[in-house]
Structure 1
């Protein structure tokens, strides 16, 4: 994995914002400001609306806004197969239509004598976190994954799922505190058998777990550092790397087992090996059958031309995630093949660094926690609305059917089903919120 230290001298300058007044200004004193009422230019505002509005954006399912021509009665509207719900103005009516038939019914209303018909568009606050370096993240988190639109629907706080990160452990950092979950008396270091998940892995791996955990769950909207994908979720770091060494089947098995015992709804594994591990895959299957969603990095290759998807991402029990750059092109190191499911940004991703700094890093290890964060946001919104967690199958169908298709049409071995789209996962009513 390529690592580039990100020093303070290279950080972008934050925009200064003028604070709003805490109380509204007093009304104008007529003696000090002797002006009359607003000057009316015209009471006549002829409508320029004709035809059909756009159905591309987000709108309320089953609702249309109708501007009728003079003389079009409510009875005529009902005869067109719609039910008037509210007269918003003398010339604006909201009507109810069957879900999924909005555009067809709108066209029928035009034929019946309506002057203009559009969906009942949805408007939302444009939520963007105030983290100091978020502008350096927005190019991929917002322009590619569209997280700001997703955060308008959920910041993971209503029913926050617990996300387990199986990795090298974590290190102390100013921007990974509130979201970090360290249950008392639990041996979170399953490799060395103690309760301290502090990263003490080999030098070439040191800091990897913090990078992954921060991309997923950095403390967000706290005016410092970076934004985590989950915004308000919780991350439990499970250390599966030995002191001064690497991870093995045994430590990964123990890590998955501990994630199950802790009740994690989502498990992120940004690790990989070249051989299929049948015994570990059975443990992954048990976790999935319990309702847990497992997201795994597809793998990196130094050859510059990718290679086959590594295990555990190659398991049918995981969501396999590859990496794209800012131009939505597969990164040349990113694994590909028949097991690939989704893509996410994985080139020059800003993460918390092991020395208390922030740095740009690249790899499918960073793409995986972005998808895991989107999974957590979706599960949080679903649980808040439906009072139950979605099944792994439903999460899978939601994400692959709302992904932005890249490469050849449909699934393909280089891009899977395409780029994960957080905004679509929050709003889709066919696969995500049927």
Structure 2
């Protein structure tokens, strides 16, 4: 009987010691303090402006201090003998936008909320607050429709980087050459609109989806796909020029939801280096073959590579991985078997030579993991600017997103640094806001 009774005992957790984090929202002028061995009155008598408001359960004291001096007074209380001092933190209901394809539904498993929750995005949204700048994500992709109902005011003036014969501001799908046509099973000009939608589709407009950027990010659409010798693709020449263009326009991030197996493309590598030198972080899709080895440009140094995870957090069956350590993270972006897809935008505009998938379409692939990382990187840029008056370098962004991901700073050959943790990106004081 004694043994059974002892097995039922719980060891109380150790009491905290030190000072809490003052970067999260809290009640002005209030601290919660563990006094240590001192009496409440004996403790606060040693700190000017501090007074005990009331004792709380668990031995804590609620202490009133001058507003704006919470952190300083917490430090003084610790110096006076307190064991622990923290803010009186604020908790909020997690923000949920009213876009109809967002809330989770058992009748529609492609709704976005579970995908965003996988990277703790809702918690991060609650931490944004007012942001004094609007970062730009350049999306280098297939085609775009700036007049889409869910992208109102989000697109900056776009650029056609291709030699497809259309004007340089024309973002329509490139017309196929005589004798060729778009293959609906392979060629998808809607792809670019879907990628851009996950970056910055308008939130809280009762339409479609919310982008990860939550109305705080703009998109620079750059068309890089066109018809090359009977194939709908892009080239080293066009892609390198587009990367340089995005950097020259001041984009904080260049999203590259595209790839090739070509390991040594000097022109593209040089352009990526140029972008990094201008303060633009390239973010690229890892590849959709499900094999070891990242596609390029994701595999190049300095690029943040993004693979895809299932909703259960494991690597998607199609997502490429790397046994060699790379700057690789994951975002939830579908699976083949069992099937998982997520809603995003389509062009919602038909052409004489191409019929759009409609206003919205279901997507999957590392192409749709990358824009989640790109938009999160942009939000981090804005948050960093709000705190320090300047944006972080590409190296800082990459370090912040990789080291705060779910693997705790450790690299795993299957999942890289793990699932993005948007909440940590907004609060981490080691890698993101040191």
Q: Would you say 1:215 and 2:224 are equivalent positions?
A: no
Distance apart, 1:257 and its partner CA: 1.6
1:350 to 328, 343, 365: 343
Q: Would you say 1:190 and 2:162 are equivalent positions?
A: yes
Matched residue count: 364
Distance 1:76 1:100 in 2: 12
Q: 2:284 is matched with which residue? A: 296
Distance apart, 1:134 and its partner CA: 1.0
Distance apart, 1:84 and its partner CA: 6.8
Distance 1:418 1:75 in 2: 48
Alignment of 1:105-254 (within 5 A): 109=82, 120-124=88-92, 126-135=94-103, 136-142=111-117, 144-154=118-128, 158-171=132-145, 172-182=147-157, 187-192=159-164, 194-200=168-174, 202-203=182-183, 204-232=187-215, 233-243=217-227, 245-254=232-241
1:310/1:98 CA distance change after superposition, 3 Å: farther
Instruction: Show CA shifts across 1:303-348 (max 9, x none).
Output: xx42310100001121001000100110111111123511111101
Distance apart, 1:177 and its partner CA: 2.3
Q: 1:331 is matched with which residue? A: 316
Distance apart, 1:357 and its partner CA: 2.9
Distance 2:406 2:239 in 1: 32
Q: 2:39 is matched with which residue? A: 72
Secondary structure in 1 aligned to 2:139? strand
Secondary structure in 2 aligned to 1:427? coil
Distance apart, 1:68 and its partner CA: 5.4
1:241/1:70 CA distance change after superposition, 3 Å: closer
1:321/1:150 CA distance change after superposition, 3 Å: same
1:156/1:405 CA distance change after superposition, 3 Å: farther
Q: 2:410 is matched with which residue? A: 410
* Runs of at least 5 residues in structure 1 that lack an aligned partner in the other structure: 1-49, 111-115
Q: 1:320 is matched with which residue? A: 305
Q: 1:274 is matched with which residue? A: 261
1:126/1:170 CA distance change after superposition, 3 Å: same
1:69/1:161 CA distance change after superposition, 3 Å: closer
1:378/1:69 CA distance change after superposition, 3 Å: closer
Q: Would you say 1:362 and 2:337 are equivalent positions?
A: no
Instruction: Show CA shifts across 1:273-309 (max 9, x none).
Output: 00121221011011101111110000111xxx42310
1:156/1:419 CA distance change after superposition, 3 Å: farther
Q: 2:63 is matched with which residue? A: 93
Distance 2:138 2:370 in 1: 13
Distance 1:261 1:332 in 2: 37
Distance apart, 1:100 and its partner CA: 12
Distance 1:100 1:283 in 2: 49
Distance 2:294 2:38 in 1: 65
Secondary structure in 2 aligned to 1:245? strand
1:324/1:117 CA distance change after superposition, 3 Å: same
Q: TM-score with structure 1 length normalisation?
A: 0.75
The 8 Å contact of residues 298 and 364 in structure 1, kept in 2 or not, is answered as yes
Secondary structure in 1 aligned to 2:22? strand
1:51/1:245 CA distance change after superposition, 3 Å: closer
Distance apart, 1:206 and its partner CA: 2.0
RMSD of equivalent CA atoms: 3.3
Secondary structure in 1 aligned to 2:390? coil
Q: 2:423 is matched with which residue? A: 423
